[in-house]
Chain A
Amino acid sequence: MPPTLSLPPGRRLLDAFAGPHGIDGYLEQLDPLLVTGECRAEVVAAERGTEESVTLTLRPNRAWDGFQAGQFVRVAVEIDGVRHQRCYSPASREGRRPTLEITVKRHPGGLVSNFLADRAEPGMVLGLSQAEGDFRLPRPLPGSTLLIAGGSGITPLIAMLRSLLAEGRERSVALLHYAPDPARAIYREELERLAGGSPSFQLLRSYTRAPGAGELDGHFSPRHLQRVEPPFAEAEAFACGPPALLDAVRGAWAVGREQRLHIESFVPPDLAPAGEPGEGAIRFACSRIEAPNSGASLLEQAEAAGIAASFGCRMGICHTCTRRKLAGTHRNLITGETSSEPDEEIQLCVSAALGDLTLAL
């Protein structure tokens, strides 16, 4: 890695000695957590809270800068030699602390979630990214906050709840929590404990497949909002969960108040529906260009969009056109294989998009 001017002189000298691999190329042979230029984390505890989920306590290395409640990190695991990244919202209190907590819920057929739910053990080293995302608590903290969570969408909201309750008990917080039944409600016991211990926290639960078990019944409806104290209209609201829940929440916020509603949606990539070869749009993220997906190879589409992408053989041999796919599903035109893996290196000349696709180009 070439030394950059932003590094301190001592570090530049060290990298001059350790070039071209850099000091990390040697440190990581001693201990993968010693690297200075890449975030990594060690699993220090793995607690199987429900049958469907595992809560991991991670100890990040020194490269990690911490997070704000509501943000997400990319966690990378290696499965049969291939590195897969998924986004998880830390559920712990915000700040730069020695550990962070993530909860992983199994998705049917989900490669990473099932791997972590089955195999995560203390001592395992995972890749980590710096925290990202604008879904976070505003500063100064709002006087009253409404949190609406569905399924594993509880994790960023738990981080917000924990941070709010830790920072000031005079602030009121309400949580509308939707889960199929009590056994599958992630963080159920902790929520009950928090609700019992802090008068400023109002917990309203709805178990969609176990009517009568919670304070509310059924899927989200504007009627549920009537139960919130103080009136929800005055609160800064944060919602996270499956698309149907978020659509219903959006519909309940009247025009003029929507700027107080913050929404985070996450759909696991394994479940993201892939489109057809000629559908959707190609986003060239670095060039800030979006073009309709013609179904042709991504290299041809980049050229048609006026982007000077480097290329060589145009037959899948030389890897000159290899670029990072940030999101979307692509098909390898030679092998016919498809992949919806985010953050993946692909050869543009022999890849076509199935539906929407974003490239780092």
Chain B
Amino acid sequence: MSTRTFGEPVKRNEDRRLLTGQALFIDDIELPGMLHVAFLRSQVAHAKIVSIDVSSALKRSGVVAAFVAGDLGDYWQQGPLLVPPPPIAGIVFHQRTQVPLAKDKVRHVGEPLVIVIAESRYIAEDALDDIDVELEPLPAVVDLEKGLAHGSALVHDDVGSNVSAHVRQTKGNYAAAAAKADQIIKRRFLYEHGISSPIETRGVVAQWDKRANQMTIWDTTQAPVFVRNGLAGMLGLNERQVRVIAPFVGGGFGPKIMMFYPEEVLLPWVSMKLNRPVKWIEDRLEHFFATTHERGQIHDAEIALTRDGRILGIKDVFLHDGGAYDPYGLTVPINSQCTLLGPYVVPNYDSTFTQVFTNLPTVTPYRGAGRQHGVFVMERLLDFAARELKIDPAEIRRKNLIPPEAFPYKNEIIYQDFQPLEYDSGNYEPVLDMALEAIGYKAFREEQVAARLQGRHIGIGLACYVEGTGIGPYEGAKVQVQSNGKVSVATGIGTQGQGHFTVFAQIAADQLGVAVGDVDVVTGDTDQFYWGAGTFASRGAVVAGNAVNEASKVVRKKALKLASDLFECAEEDLVIEDGKVSIVGVPGKFVKLGDLARQANPMRGAVQPGTEPGLESTQYFGPKMGATANGVHAMIIEMDPRTFDLKILKYVVVHDCGTVINPMILAGQIHGGVAQGIGNAFYEKLVFDDQGQLLNASLADYLLPTALEVPRMELGHTVTTSPLNPMGIKGAGEAGAIPGGPLFAQAIEDALDLKGRGVELLEIPLSPSRLFELTRNAQR
């Protein structure tokens, strides 16, 4: 395999359309006769629905229809369970999934009650004010511990409690390990992740063509194939009658793979009912309620160690806020549970969680998908242990790293792909060393002392993590050489900025000896590729990329075979490059790939039985389990000791995601992840009141980091190839976002010498005000 572009920072094929404003995003779709949708959403978090009267809305000029749950008849059903509970002994799981329009009860602010269809979004919003809704408010379940207490209001009455799930996983025997420990550190941690808040919100356009008997749905989904399958089933159509297209999508980050959102379920139904195309574009206010969140966990965790800092075991009991419904099963808390173990040898582990129903929007994965929470707990426990045992924080980590000869490393407990957690490959110590070197760890203590003499308070943070990536089930790709010599690649996953149009092109280009710019990639169109799972869990490049590679290899083989027949020579004597197959050493004797493709699709004549036409192949790739990437982040900050204002002076990431296809695109993924990690740690906080009302539902008050909050980042990387796929690659999409929390906690404690003042930072997010409150009663 030639490696002309693999590993190179090839510039992106998709840029021109995006830079010139010519890329099609969902709200760009204009169809003749298209109507516009707005939803009347619940303003209270928990209530019985007494009555809904849409009659006045229907009288408004420009309003075409308005539907409530009862109007949907049999179409109204609870959504499917997307991720069943993993096969863990003793698991408790109560499936309660979302519905297209609330019936009987509303369970979170923003849950849709009525869908209004009108000539314009402006008129549809006018009509919302015409609708009379009578709700009988109920007490809202917001606090996790209160929600589990006897006598709490119930989100789902028929469950009998607010327990969505209860899971315990163990490895070894923690109790026995703790009994032998020299040191036990026990703390309660609070970790809240935020919302994805991509710059493009969600949207759905549905067009039912009665005469063609065809439904076309444009959807900002990360998983068009599953959306197609599910909606076809719900609508009573054959899969072949439904085409789902994910156009250019302005950022996904996880919540755009949640399905079946009420809007996804309703727009096609409405289109069929009215026989007109319909469009719904989520506005920013809706996004705070209508798109899924990730939120918080409360951990009561303890770590048992020897006096020289070796981990003997960890015990953790945590509560996870699952929101009003649980269509995504246990993915997020299982990730927390598994990722807590990190890159460390943890011989004994006892982890229990309860996923709690709350009257808040549903929680599904958002970049990191629960890993942040686990990493925060582990890294903080190690920091406090280091303090007690008087060991340097970097050294306590080094001491416990899984050694390179221990791979594949079995962690035994079940991971989100239902397989026992196993790290395929890794070499962790060099990553730590590179990060320490890059941040200037050794020199830092002196610099800190010197800075203090100038009245400056600087601090350092360090965090290690692993990231399970590239999980199954599978993806597929079709690669085809066209008669003009260009190559077409189609795969079922969607793209939200990750550079698939370039990365997959590089893979095909290298196999087929063509220029990257001559490879045209289609993603996210179910008519172009029928099968697949979707873009999530840092798996796109790994799984779909490998499928592209396999299909490209087959096409390469076909091309060589055809050319060898043509030239009557051995395949070994041929070379493919610059879009041509030629005989080695005889460049004048060549055939263009496009001509070969044409010859492979004759208009007349006979072919050998069993021949497939054309130069194309469809191949699938399914890894037997996920590949484990890892990284270390280090950061130096400066704090104003009076205002608690924070400035990042230096930020380092060293990362191992196996073989790298395009280092430029990889760096971009890390940069973006780090920005979200910074937001999560210090700026973004969802502020709910005790009635489940979100008090900061706007971008003015939900604070995304800007170019002034995100520093320049220095990246390094090492490579341990994955044995789980032929290209040796691991995923990288979420890595940047994972360790921000513990990094900030450590660095702030260091800058303000909180240890000396008896203050520990046990929660994320933090803010200047919160730091003031936490430290005000401490010794100076």
Say whether A and B bind each other: no
- Interface, chain B (partner A; CB < 8 A): none
A interface list, Cβ under 8 A from B: none
